Structure 1
Amino acid sequence: MMTKKYLLCYPVLLIGLLLWAEGTAYSQESPTLSKGQKIYVPAYSHIYTGNRQIPSFLTVTLSIRNTDIFHAIEIVSVDYHDTKGALIKRYLPSPVFLKALESVRYVVDYDDKAGGSGANFIVEWRSESLVNPPIMETIMIGSRSSFTSRGQAIRTAD
C-alpha cells in the first residue's frame, strides 16, 4: 500500500517533467530571418557501390522552396560545380522570383556524369524584406538507390 508521502511525490514529479518537456521537446525557436544567403547544396551525379567501386548513375533534382508565407524571394544564381569545384553550368541567365510558398526545380540528367560523386550547387538568393530562408535540397534517384541532401548556408547577405 502506498503511503501519503509517495502520493505527494507524483504531482511534483509530473510538474517537473512537464516543465522539462516544455523547455526542450515542445519549445520551438523563432526562425532566423534573413535578407539573403549563399547556399551550398550537395549533389551526386553518381555514387559508388561494392568493393570494386562501380559507379551507379543518378538523376539529380535541385528543389528550391520559398518557405515565407508573405514575401517573394529572388533567386540570383544557381551554379552547378563538379567534384573538384569547377563550374559546370550556370542555370540562370537572369534572376528568378519566387512568390510566397512557390517552388522551382533544376535537373541534372541521368546521362550527365560531369559532376561526379562530390558535385554541388551554389545558390544565391535575396529579398528586400526579412524572410524565412528557403529550403534547398537535392533529390538523387537512380536504378539502385535514392536519397536527399539538404543545403547549408555558407554566407549571408551583405
Structure 2
Amino acid sequence: MKPLFFLSLILAILTSCSQNKAPETKHHSDFHFAEVNKSTFERTELVYIPIYSDIYYIDSKHTFSLTATLSIRNTSFKDSIYLFSIDYYNSTGEKVRRYNESTLLVKPMESVDFVVENKDDTGGVGASFVVEWGAAKSEAQRPYFQGVMIGTTGQQGISFTTEGVVIQK
C-alpha cells in the first residue's frame, strides 16, 4: 500500500508543477513587421547601447560570463516607432550579427527585447548594440533603450544596467 501512496504523491506533485509554467518569452515570430519607406520618416536616430557579454574580475585574465538583454521600450501612449536595424558589435568594432531581417513595428507602450545568451562570448567585454529607429512624426517621443546584464556562478551573482545614447540624428 505504501508504494502506491508514494507513487500517487509523486504524480500529484509533478502534475501541480507542470501547471505553473513560466510565461513564454517573446520570439521573433511574435514581433510586428512593417514594410515602410525610411526616407518618409520625420525622425530617425542611431542609438548606441553598451552590452557586456562578460566582464573582468580579479584581473584582466579572468572574465565572468553574463546574459545580456537589450530592451527597447516605446514610451509613447499614441505613436508607434519603427526599428530599422538592430546590430550587435564585438569589442573590436566588428558587426557580429543583425537581430532583425526587416523593419519592426513597436506599438505604443510596447517593448521588445533581444538576448545575448550567457554562453555566447562573441561580443566580449566591449560589446554593443547599435539601433536605428524612426517615427513618422518629428515630435514623437524617444523610446527607452536599456541593456540589462546578469550572471551567476555558484553562489556569486552580478547584475547591472546600461542606457542607450543617441550617436546620430
Q: Fold conserved (TM > 0.5)? A: yes
Q: Which residue matches 1:147?
A: 160
Which segments of structure 1 move beyond 2 Å, counting only runs of 4 or more?
none
CA-CA distance at 1:69 after TM superposition:
1.2
Task: Say which one has the larger Rg.
Answer: 1
Q: Quick check: 1:63 aligned with 2:63? A: no
Q: Return the alpha-carbon distance in structure 1 between the equivalents of residues 113 and 90 of structure 2.
A: 19
With the length of structure 1 as denominator, give the TM-score of the two structures: 0.75
With the length of structure 2 as denominator, give the TM-score of the two structures: 0.71
The question of whether the paired residues in 2 share the 8 Å contact of 1:36 and 1:133 is answered with no
Letter in 1 for 2:128: N
The equivalent position to 1:135 in structure 2, one of 137, 144, 152, is 144
Q: Return the alpha-carbon distance in structure 2 between the equivalents of residues 128 and 52 of structure 1.
A: 46
CA-CA distance at 1:52 after TM superposition:
5.8
Letter in 2 for 1:139: V
Work out the number of aligned pairs and report it.
123
The question of whether the paired residues in 2 share the 8 Å contact of 1:82 and 1:119 is answered with yes
Within a 5 Å distance, the mapping from 1:4-153 to structure 2 comes to 35-51=43-59, 53-129=61-137, 130-143=139-152, 144-153=157-166
For residue 39 of structure 1, give the secondary structure of its aligned residue in structure 2: strand
Identity level (%): 38
| 1:2-59 deviation per Cα after TM superposition (whole angstroms, max 9, x unaligned) | xxxxxxxxxxxxxxxxxxxxxxxxxxxxxxxx82210000000000111364110000
Q: Which residue matches 2:12?
A: none
Letter in 2 for 1:70: K
**CA RMSD, Structure 1 to Structure 2 (Å):** 1.1
| 1:122-154 deviation per Cα after TM superposition (whole angstroms, max 9, x unaligned) | 001001112110000110000131100000000
Inter-CA distance 46–100: structure 2 relative to 1 (3 Å threshold): same
The question of whether the paired residues in 2 share the 8 Å contact of 1:82 and 1:120 is answered with yes
For residue 145 of structure 1, give the secondary structure of its aligned residue in structure 2: strand
Structure 1: runs of 5+ lacking an equivalent: 1-33
| 1:60-90 deviation per Cα after TM superposition (whole angstroms, max 9, x unaligned) | 0000000111100101110000001000010
For residue 68 of structure 2, give the secondary structure of its aligned residue in structure 1: strand
Q: Return the alpha-carbon distance in structure 2 between the equivalents of residues 52 and 152 of structure 1.
A: 27
For residue 92 of structure 2, give the secondary structure of its aligned residue in structure 1: coil
